[in-house]
Amino acid sequence: MPRSEERPNKGKKLPTLLIHKCLVLVKDNRVIGGICFHMFPSQGFSEIVFCAVSSNEQVKGYGTHMMNYLKDYHVRNGTLHFLTYADEYATGYFKKQGFSTQINLTKSAYHGYIKEYEGATLMGCELNPNIIYTELSSILKKQKEVLKKIVERRQDELGKCYPGLTCFRDGIRQIPIESIPGVREAGYRCTSEDYKFVEDNMDPESLYTHLRGILNQLKTHPSAWPFQKYSPASSSLPPTVLSPSISSPAGRYPMDLKMISERLKARYYSHVYLFKADVMRLFANCREAFSTDSEQVKCADQLQAYFEKKIIDITK
């Protein structure tokens, strides 16, 4: 029986009038805590009338320990609801045990069955029959450890640094979040209806195959010669937009077909618009580096027209 000093707001005679069953916690052959409860199996709930732990044994987890044993007892007996009137000193404890002021029982199920108290708050707790409450703490601890290891492993996998996006310098107004290198690898999946691009339904391998085909056609096009990788050691290779002798914005943001090939091989192009931005930079650099009547700019015009016809098949 709980001592009256542990529950000052409930009368001394009340326990003898209401209690049908008690759970007690014994330490060193001495009762240090207990829960008194009144079961109403026909109504599907039990009333927690008293719950107390000796003042010198509090804040040690004994209250939770007792409540978990009581929960398992009720699960075994098929009673899955607790109700209690908690005074201002007890509401914090009951919240930690899963109680709330939202009662999941109809009022007719408990009205007239439980004792009501002035100045106390009615709180309820619905039990899950699939949980063993006395093992819950250890299970949660193991789950946290597993989750921590998963997060650490993912952090190691995602520790790769990607180059910054440069597609916006070439007139691209927006790209899907998923197209940013590394975002998909991090597990992000866009659910917005705002992004209706064809790759939303195209797997990475299909995208890679499409882009590789277009790139190979560009590299073998007769007008592609100004956009191959510049090599000072090769006298047979004509000057390109990457020539170090050219001082222009092209030198600040260089791009050539070899660089695009390397990025494609590294799976940098997670979205067709990133690929398109790099190719269009080839032509933009060329027009800034050479006069409009030069052979290089004529090649840029011809290759861009060819490219736009090819790329439209997967962007329309």
Widest distance between CA atoms in the chain: 107
Helix (H), strand (E), coil (C) string for 199-257? HHHCCHHHHHHHHHHHHHHHHCCHHHHHHCCCCCCCCCCCCCCCCCCCCCHHHHCCCCH
**Looking at 5, 47, 57, 205, which residue is catalytic?**
47
Q: Which amino acid is at 103?
A: I
Q: How many CB atoms lie within 10 A of CB 228?
A: 16
Q: Two tokens at 112?
A: 């007239």
Question: What whole-number distance in Å separates Cα of residue 308 and Cα of residue 290?
Answer: 22
Question: What whole-number distance in Å separates Cα of residue 225 and Cα of residue 220?
Answer: 9
* Nearest by Cα to 20 from 106, 113, 111: 113
DSSP 164: P
Is there a contact between 48 and 84 (Cβ–Cβ < 8 Å)? yes
Q: Two tokens at 6?
A: 């542990």
Is there a contact between 82 and 133 (Cβ–Cβ < 8 Å)? no
Q: Two tokens at 195?
A: 């992004």
Active site (annotated) includes residue 47: yes
Question: What whole-number distance in Å separates Cα of residue 93 and Cα of residue 288?
Answer: 72
Catalytic (active-site) positions: 47
